[in-house]
Each structure stands twice: as structure tokens, then as C-alpha cells.
Amino acid sequence: MTADPPVRVRFAPSPTGRLHIGGLRTALYNYLFARKHGGDFVLRIEDTDQARYEPGAEDDIREALAWVGLEYDEGPEEGGEFAPYRQSERSDLYREYAERLIEADRAYYAFDTEAELEEMREDHGAYDVTTRRHMRNSLTLSDDEVERLLEEDDFVVRLKVPRQASIHFDDVIRGGVSFDASEVDDQVLLKSDGMPTYHLANIVDDHLMDISHVIRGEEWLSSTPKHVLMYEALGWEPPAFAHLPLILSPNGGKLSKRDANQLGIPVYVGDYRTDGYEPAALLNFLALLGWGPGTDEELFSLDEMTQAFSLDRVGASGVQFDLDKLRWVNEHYVRALSIDELAQKARPYVEAEGYEVSDERLRTICELVQDRIQVVPEVATDNRYFFEAPDEYEEAGVEKRWKDASADLLLAYAERLEAVDTFDTDTVETELRDLAEEKDVGAGAVIHPARLAVSGRSYGPGVFGLLAAVGKDACIRRMRRAAEVLG
């Protein structure tokens, strides 16, 4: 009995822009599959599209993978047995295999221009017989004429798709998949600048790098028949294919950049880092965006995901992106941080808002709000009252909590606080309860106005901790102002 080949998978992004959130999910599934089976996870940069190449994009890809902790075994910087790992550094290989396909009568030289083809497509459609016949004009030329044109004119190499055939392959996620050859275009394999297209380069590299499983997005499903034809023509065993479900917009349809921007959903991985999401939470959320563990469990460390992951449990149907669910997942990771970790992560956001605060006071604030925030920046952005006086008061809170006696009680409480030497949680509580007893009112009659005055809100962390964290002078000023403004 023949042993299964070692598992080798690749994440092969194109450096034409920053790493998309869908790309990170693809990288994650490849990583989990490799680690689950003790295999190799390869990073390969598919930079054959020089016209769309964006400087800095490759760095963004590597930095995003490092941020979330997806370490690859081979890649452009790490090297490996199958180097180089940038396709632009492997171009001679692709020409060789394009020639092999031509010799096998499975590809051909074509001299049509893109402008001519675009006009044909507009008139007849991409797969119309007339369009395909025009593509194959060079097949009617004599060998001498072809040689002359190769020397004098620009040319491309196209895949010669059978006229009448059914192209079948098995997909780990979708089962058996078939395409009618009439729906498959004669794909350009080698461009006029000598660079390969993705379609030629990826099958050559996957074969030469011993890739066992190609795990990629559903958008590549319709290209797979072309790849299967090339594997067959070159006499190679294709890898196992697994096409992941689309990530859908909450409004339906594929999650486009435009939809995402309108819905406030970050598109690029780097934006989640900037917005203060925990990398482990983002991976946890993305893992469940297409895969299910078969249990009700929803929170996983990377090691736990690795142990539970299986391509058999990845669905074929598209999955809607739910930002609220991501925030819920992130909330759990924020709560698991130590206070020191949270304060360290929060400091850049606090300073970016223009606030100066000591380490000790920031830790105190973090301790008060940790269970009330979903992302780290909210330490500053959703709790500004720790750093500056409110400029307005919550209308519903005032209506419900501010009574006829509130101003007088608040002023009396401010006077008591002004007289104390120690301003801590115990002191502010003692003074408040003594005042309530003296005035023969419930403690809430002072607590609620005090909270409104200091934070502008009727909700938040414990009021005594809140007052102590804001500080004596600030609390007194805010109480007197609220008494004046609210009356």
C-alpha cells in the first residue's frame, strides 16, 4: 500500500495591494491544515502581474502574517529547498513549460491583440465560436509564417482547450465538479512581455514545489479546468483541490471593498491592527467564517483550532461577514488580558487622542473599563470622561436621574470631598453615604447625579472607582458645573 505524500500547502498572494481579510482566511486554513498533518506551509509571492505590482505590498503581506502569528516554513526571506519563492525570479521555468505545451499541441502561439479580442467579445461574447476562431487564426498559418511573425510581431501563448469535452475534477469541499469545455476560454499562458499568467505559473510551481493540496478561494474554481488540462498535458498528477466559500457582505453578495466601506467593515488586515483588534481574536473569527468544529464551542486558541480543523467541515456555501460577531469574539480576548497588558496596548491610543496619563492611573482606568469594552482603543474613545470633562449630559439619564434636590445634594457632596485629605475609593464612598444619611435620602439620590456630573452618562463602571480615577479637583469642578447647568 502506497503511503500518502507529505502535506505541503502554499499561500500564494499577489503583491498588487494590501492583504485582504479574505486572503488572511485562506492563509489561515492552509496553515491549520499543514500544522494538523505535520506538513509544510509555504509562502509564495505571485508577482507576475508587473503592471499591477504595488511597492510595499509584499512587506504588508509578511507583516500581516507575522502580526497574527502564522509562521511559514518556506518563503522569499526564509528560503527553502524549492527557492526562489517569487515568481518573477522563476520566469525562465515558465517559458520552458509553455514550449512543452506547444510541442504537445496543447497550446499555441497567438498574434491577436487585446484590443481586437475585446472588440470581438463585445460583438460575440467571450466564448462565442467566432471569438475563439479568431484566437486560433495562427493555427491556420504555415510554419514559416509563424516563425516570421514570432520574430517580427508581439505574440502570446494560449492554452488549446478541446472543442468538445467535459472537464472533471474532485474538490475536497465540493465533491465532483464538471465544466463543459465550451465554457472555457483559450487562456493566455505566456504574455507578450514574456511573463507568465497566474494560470501557467501556479501549476508549474505547485508541481515543482511538491504542493499536495491547493486550498484557495472560490473565485478560482472556474479557472481550475484550465489547470487540470495543463496537468494532464504535462503528464503530472494534480494536487488535491479545495475551494473555500465566498465571504459575503451582510447585505448579500460578495464582500466588495465598496460594500465594506459603506458598512464600516475594514477590508485589509492592517486596518484591523490599526483599529485595535486582537490578532488571536481575528483568527478565531475567520476560522469560523466557513468552518465549524461540530460543537457549540466558539472560542479557540490557534493550537486548539489546529487540533480541531478539518477540510471536511468547511462548507461550500458563502458565509456572511458579521462585524458584531467579531467584536463579541474580540471582547473575550480583551477580557483575558492582564491589566498591565491592556494598559500597554491602550497607551498608544490614549496618547493619539492627546491625553497624558501616568502608568499607574492608566492601569486603574483599564481595570475599571476592561469588562465594558470590545476593542482596546475604547479605553480612550468610549471613556473620555476619565481624561476630560463631559461637554454635555445624557438626555435620558438626566430625565430619569436628575431630581429637584440633585443640585443641592451634589454641591454638598462637592464640599465634603473638598475637605478630605485622601481621595480614594473608600473615602469617596464614605463621604457619600454619610451625606445621604445626614440628608435622610437613599444613597442613589447622590450616586446618580454624581455619575452624571462626572461622566455625562447614567451608566459606566462603579461610581466610587470612577470618581477616584477621575481625581479630586476634576470631580469637584464637574459637580459644581453640573449643578449650575442642570439646576
The helix/strand/coil state of 427 is: helix
The catalytic position among 257, 345, 400, 439 is: 257
Contact indicator for 452, 394 with CB cutoff of 8 Å = yes
Q: What is the DSSP letter of 372?
A: G
Is 257 among the residues known to form the active site? Answer: yes
Pick from 333, 263, 271: which is nearest to 298 by CA?
A: 333
319 touches 255 (CB < 8 A): no
Q: Give the SS3 label for residue 66.
A: helix
Please state, in angstroms and rounded to a whole number, the distance separating the CA atoms of residues 156 and 333: 52
**Which strand ranges, in their side-by-side order, compose the sheet holding 156-159?**
107-110, 156-159, 188-190
Nearest to 30 by CA among 227, 243, 199, 225: 243
Contact status, residue 41 vs residue 73, Cβ threshold 8 Å: yes
Which one-letter DSSP state was computed for residue 241? E
CA angle 286, 291, 295 (to 5 degrees): 110
Cα–Cα distances (Å) from 223 to 197, 202, 205, 318, in that order, read 12, 11, 16, 19
The C-alpha cell of 6 is what? 507529505
* Torsion sign (Cα): 470, 474, 477, 481: negative
What angle (nearest 5°) sits at the alpha carbon of residue 284, between those of residues 282 and 289?
A: 90
Determine the Cα angle at 308 with ends 306 and 309, to 5°. Answer: 65
Please identify every residue annotated as catalytic. 257
